Amino acid sequence: MEKILEVKNLSVSFNTHDGEVQAVRDISFDLHKGETLAIVGESGSGKSVTTKALMKLLPEPQGFIKNGEIMFENEDIVKKNEKQMQKVRGKDLAMIFQDPMTSLNPTMKVGTQVMEGLIRHRNMNKQQAREKAIEILKLVKIPEPEIRMKQYPHQFSGGMRQRVMIAIALACDPKILIADEPTTALDVTIQAQILDIMKDIQAETNTSIIFITHDLGVVANIADRVAVMYAGKIIEIGTVDELFYNPKHPYTWGLLGSMPTLDSSEEELFAIPGTPPDLLYPPKGDAFAPRNEFALKIDYEEQPPMFKVSDTHYAATWLMDPKAPAISPPPSVQKRMQADKAKKGVLK
C-alpha cells in the first residue's frame, strides 16, 4: 500500500518551571492510504502529543518539536510555518477532538461551523456550502439535517455533538483524519454507533485514519495496525491480529491482560503495577523495566532496539534478543489471546 505519511525520529518536549519534559522520544511510524492506525497506551504515554505535533497544534512556546520529520506528500510539516499550516489543517489533515462541547463554538449555529471550512478551503459560496453541509450531516447520520443546521451545540446530545465534529472534520475530504479519543465521553451504545459511522465513511472515502485511544476493545473493532506507546516511545507496532494474538512486549501483555471479558471473574482481572516514569528525567534503560516482572539486567542499563518479529511486526524489548531466556506471556494474557482467537474463528 502507498504511504501517505511518514514520521521519522520525532521528539516533542515541553518547557516547564522544573525543566524539559520529554513527552515524545524519537518515534517513527508510517500511515498508508485508506488504513486505520490506532495508537494506544496509558494516559501520559505521548499519544495526544504526537497527534498535536502532526497538526502543529502544540501550545507555544512551551511545547515544541525538538527534532524529527513529519513527511506528508513529500513535504516536511515540521518546516511549515503557521500560515502554511492553516492551508493544510482542515483541508488535508483534519482532527476530531475528545470533547466536542469544548471544541464546538457555543455561540455559532452548527450549520455555520460545518460550512466554515467549505467556504475557506473549497471556495464555495454560502448556498453551495449549505447544500454540502446538509449532505455531510446526512453522511454522519444526523436526522433532519436541514433543521439541525439552524441549532446550537447545546441543543445536541453528546453523541450528536461528536457526529457534528466528525462532519466538520470530513467537510473538505481530508486525506488524513486524526481522531483523539473521540468516544471516551460516550456510553457504550453511542460509542459503537460513532465507530460504525467512521468505518462506513472510511469505506466510502478511502480516508486514512489515526485513532488515539486507551481502550483496546475499540482498537479490535476499528484498526488495521496498532502502535503501542509507553513513556513517550513506541514500544510495539504491528497489525491488529499480531498485537492481539502474538504480542511480544510485556507492556502489551499487561494491557491485554487488564481487559475484562464477559467470562472473566473479578479475581482474574490483571493490573499493571506501579506508575509510568517522570519524563523530566527519562530512565537510562527500558522505561517499563521497574514495572516489568520479566525485566532483565540489561533493561536497567540500555534501551532496547526495535526487534523484528515479522515484516509488519516490531517490538522494543530485550526479551526478543536471541540471548534472552524464553518467556511466555502470563496465563491471563494467554487466556485472553485464546478467547479472542476462538471468537474470531481462528481456532477450529
CA dist., res. 135 & res. 48, Å (int): 30
- Mark whether 171 and 260 lie in a shared domain: no
Looking at residue 269, its pLDDT comes to: 64
CA dist., res. 321 & res. 8, Å (int): 24
pTM: 0.90
Which structural domain, as residue segments, surrounds residue 333?
Answer: 241-315+328-344
The answer to whether position 37 is within a domain reads yes
- Mark whether 59 and 187 lie in a shared domain: yes
DSSP 8-23: EEEEEEEEETTEEEEE
Looking at residue 200, its pLDDT comes to: 85
- Omega within 30 of 0 (cis) for the link into 61: yes
Looking at residue 348, its pLDDT comes to: 41
Among the candidates 191, 223, 255, a domain finishes at 223
Nearest C-alpha neighbor of 71 from the set 40, 30, 116: 30
Looking at residue 190, its pLDDT comes to: 79
- Mark whether 206 and 267 lie in a shared domain: no
Looking at residue 263, its pLDDT comes to: 59
The identity of residue 263, as a single letter, is: D
Looking at residue 25, its pLDDT comes to: 96
- Mark whether 90 and 153 lie in a shared domain: yes
Looking at residue 291, its pLDDT comes to: 94
Looking at residue 71, its pLDDT comes to: 97
CA dist., res. 266 & res. 133, Å (int): 47
CB neighbours of 204 closer than 8 A, spacing ≥ 6?
139
The answer to whether position 320 is within a domain reads no
- Mark whether 213 and 249 lie in a shared domain: no
CB neighbours of 90 closer than 8 A, spacing ≥ 6?
117, 120, 121, 169, 171, 172, 174
CA dist., res. 199 & res. 33, Å (int): 14
Question: Is residue 240 classed as helix, strand or coil in its secondary structure?
Answer: helix
CA dist., res. 337 & res. 18, Å (int): 42
- Mark whether 65 and 187 lie in a shared domain: yes
Paired with 314 in beta bridges are 237, 308
Angle at 113 between CA 95 and CA 215, to 5 degrees: 30
The answer to whether position 43 is within a domain reads yes
- Mark whether 247 and 291 lie in a shared domain: yes
CATH number for the domain that contains residue 156: 3.40.50.300
- Mark whether 192 and 140 lie in a shared domain: yes
The answer to whether position 201 is within a domain reads yes
| Residuewise pLDDT in 10s, the chain (348 residues) | 789 999 999 999 999 999 999 999 999 999 999 999 999 999 889 999 999 999 999 998 899 999 999 999 889 999 999 999 998 998 899 998 877 777 899 999 999 999 998 998 888 999 999 999 999 999 888 999 999 999 999 999 888 898 898 889 888 889 999 998 887 767 778 778 888 888 888 888 889 999 998 888 888 888 999 999 999 999 999 999 999 999 999 999 999 888 766 555 555 667 788 999 999 999 999 999 999 999 999 999 999 999 999 999 999 999 999 999 998 888 777 777 776 666 666 544
CA dist., res. 91 & res. 170, Å (int): 9
CA dist., res. 215 & res. 7, Å (int): 23
Contact 231, 275 (CB under 8 A): no
The answer to whether position 90 is within a domain reads yes
CA dist., res. 335 & res. 167, Å (int): 40
Angle at 312 between CA 30 and CA 257, to 5 degrees: 100
The answer to whether position 322 is within a domain reads no
Pairing of strands 3-16, 19-32: antiparallel
- No. of helices (H) and no. of strands (E), the chain: 12, 12
Structure-block grid coordinates of residue 232: 513517550
Other residues' Cβ atoms within 10 Å of the Cβ of residue 207: 22
Count structural domains, the chain.
2
Nearest C-alpha neighbor of 230 from the set 182, 283, 179, 269: 283
The answer to whether position 16 is within a domain reads yes
- Mark whether 286 and 167 lie in a shared domain: no
- Mark whether 192 and 310 lie in a shared domain: no
- Mark whether 270 and 141 lie in a shared domain: no
The answer to whether position 232 is within a domain reads no
- Mark whether 183 and 257 lie in a shared domain: no
φ, ψ of residue 39 to 5 degrees: the values are -115, 120
